[in-house]
Amino acid sequence: MTIKAGERMPAGTLKRMTKDGPKDVTTDELFKGKTVVLFSVPGAFTPTCDAKHLPGFVQLADQIHAKGVDTIACMAVNDVFVMNAWGKASGVGDKIVMLADGNGEYAKALGLELDGKKVGMGTRGQRFAIVVKDGVAKTVEVEEPGQFKVSAAEYVLGRL
In the residue annotation, 74 being an active-site residue is answered as no
Cα 144 to Cα 89: distance, rounded to the nearest angstrom: 28
Cα–Cα nearest to 14, from 2, 4, 33, 29: 29
> Which member of 9, 30, 49, 153 is catalytic?
49
Q: In what order do the strands lie in the sheet with 21-26?
A: 21-26, 13-18, 97-100, 71-76, 35-41, 128-133, 136-142
The residues carrying an active-site annotation are: 49
